[in-house]
Structures are given as structure tokens and as C-alpha cells.
Amino acid sequence: MAFDAGKQVLALEWNFRPHVDANGVTPEPSDHAVSHFLYESASIYDDFRDQDGELLTLVDLTEEQYQSISERLLDLVAELTQDCPSREQIAALPHRIQKAYIAWLRKELTDPEAPSGATKGSRAPLRSVASFTRPAGS
């Protein structure tokens, strides 16, 4: 079987209806854009450490700190998606839908799935050749 880039990975198609009247296809981001997103989203929490240098847990954050993290993540997602969807569209989603979209986007970028040749319309996972974890202290 030959590799066909148009069939191996599905488009980054999204639909926010009925929560937000918006749908579209995110342009395929560059390697640099994905790396930047992964690195920066991992480093969001670096400013939130206790006096021993340990990361604070969500329950230890103030409301302002949690909001700061959420706002920065929205900025990073909008930058990655080239405003398709826009920051405003993502921010307008209910909390759980918003977090599910961001998790879906991250998964699609780090471990894409392709339509299976065996069953029309089914999806088979592809192994990710690179996973990103930020080393402690960097």
C-alpha cells in the first residue's frame, strides 16, 4: 500500500455548534508552530511554584492564577490554529467543551489518526514518532 498524504491523516475539521455558531477547518500547522505550542503550553505552569520550587496543584492556585493559565492557553491555541477557530470562538465555548476541543487538537497534532482501509469510515490510531515532555528545570 502506498502512502497517500491526502488520505493518511484527516483534516483538522471542527464544529462548535450548537454552543457557538462556528465551524471550519484549521490550516495544517508547521512543525515549528506545533513545537512552540507544546513547549509554551507545558511552560505555562512554571510561574506557579511554591517556596520549595514544586509546581502548585490546581487546588492550590488562586482564581486569578487559574484565570491567567486559561487565558494564556487560549492565546496559544488561537496562535496555533491561525485564528481558525478564533480565540473568541474558543473562549465562548462552555468550559468542558472548550477543554475537550483543546485536548482533541493536542491529540490530533501529536498522535494523528487515519481512516482505516479495512472498514470504511473507521479510524485506526497511528503511532506518534515524537512525544513532547518538557524536562524539569528547563
Question: Contact, 100 vs 110, CB < 8 A?
Answer: no
What is the predicted pLDDT for the residue at 137?
53
- Per-residue CA distances from 92 to 45, 80, 98 (Å): 23, 18, 8
In a domain, 55, yes or no: yes
Asked whether residue 22 is domain-assigned, the answer is yes
What stretches of 1-138 adopt beta strand conformation (E)?
A: 12-15, 23-26, 113-115, 123-125
Judge whether 108 lies within some domain. yes
Q: Is residue 2 part of a domain?
A: no
To the question of pTM greater than 0.95 for the whole model, the response is no
Tally of structural domains, the chain: 1
Domain presence at residue 69: yes
Assigned domain for 21 exists: yes
Residue 131 lies in a domain: no
Q: Report the pLDDT value the prediction gives residue 115, as an integer from 0 to 100.
A: 56
Domain coverage including residue 50: 12-113
Given a cut of 70, the residues of the chain with pLDDT beneath it are: 113-138
The answer to whether residue 30 sits within a structural domain is: yes
User: What pLDDT was estimated at residue 123?
Assistant: 45
